[in-house]
Amino acid sequence: MEHEVFVPVTVERLREALGDPVRVARAVPGLQQDAGADPVAGRLKVRVGSHSITYRGAVRVTGRDDGSYAVEGDATETRGTGSVTLSLTLRLRDTEAGTTLTFGGTATADGRVTELPQDAVGSAVVRLLNRFAEALGETEEEPEKPEQPEEQPETPEAVETPAPEEPPAPPVDDFTEPATPPAEAAHARRTMIGRSAEEVDHAPPRGRYAPVPAPQTVAAGATLRWAAPAAAVVLASAIVVTRVLRKRR
């Protein structure tokens, strides 16, 4: 068979893609890669008319000295005993605004695919090659760059104004009085607890703060001056009582 596909991609880019097995496997439409196997190996479901056949196999792409590529593959049916073997030659031709890929070679098969109409099988192969060439020519998606936050314009930092210093407190004169009240004042304050404000205001100070009475000087003559009249009154009363008693007798 022989088939040509045009892709709007330069020859250099296609050669880079064919030299990378990972990109080749990514270009095979519907390929489910096997974990731990070669990149271009796994399961592939092929649609032929109203039928679908699933194959498991591998494909190898090797560059040649003349600039062409050898494409070899083999696969077996996952639900049957049929198998497919292909041996193709892929050539790249630089054309206007792109590249033309030319596939030529042979393919042998047995099993279910031989029971289907040949034109349906040919259409399925052409569709598979077209999709492979188009996917091979697609540009790789560039990794998304994380969005960077917009730079905020630098603003001058606020200058902290120092708080005004408080003037020093004026010195306190020492009047030789203790900072804590003496015991007498504390006792007087305790005794006033529970009393009315009026009583407290009019209560005379006690203890150390109580006023000291002035010393009183009493002369001896003053005592006798008060005592003599009292004795005279008592003596007069006694005389009167005695006279009254005599008259009654």
Q: Return the exposure string of 180-196: e unless at least 16 CB atoms fall within 10 Å of the residue's CB, then b.
A: eeeeeeeebeeeeeeee
Please give the average per-residue pLDDT across 73-87, as a whole number: 92
Percentage of the chain beyond pLDDT 90 is 44
User: For residues 184 and 27, which has the higher predicted lDDT (pLDDT)?
Assistant: 27
Residue with tokens 């393919």: 107
Residue 207 CB contacts under 8 Å (≥ 6 apart), including other chains:
182, 184, 185, 187, 188
Whether the pLDDT of residue 173 is over 50: the answer is no
Q: What local confidence, expressed as pLDDT, does residue 63 receive?
A: 93
Angle CA 55–70–25, to nearest 5: 45
CA 84, chain centre distance (Å):
57
Closest residue by Cα to residue 92 from 13, 163, 39, 32: 13
**Dist CA 246 CA 240 (whole Å):** 10
Q: Which residues pair with 56 in a beta bridge?
A: 43, 76
With a cut of 50, say whether residue 76 has pLDDT above it. yes
Amino acid at the residue 162: P
Q: Is the pLDDT of residue 77 over 60?
A: yes
**pLDDT-based confidence at 38, cuts 50/70/90?**
confident
| Amino acid in position 145 | K
100-137 residue pLDDT tens: 999 999 989 999 999 999 999 999 999 999 999 999 98
**Predicted pLDDT of residue 72:** 93
Share of the chain above pLDDT 70, in %: 61
Helix (H) or strand (E) segment spanning residue 237: helix 220-248
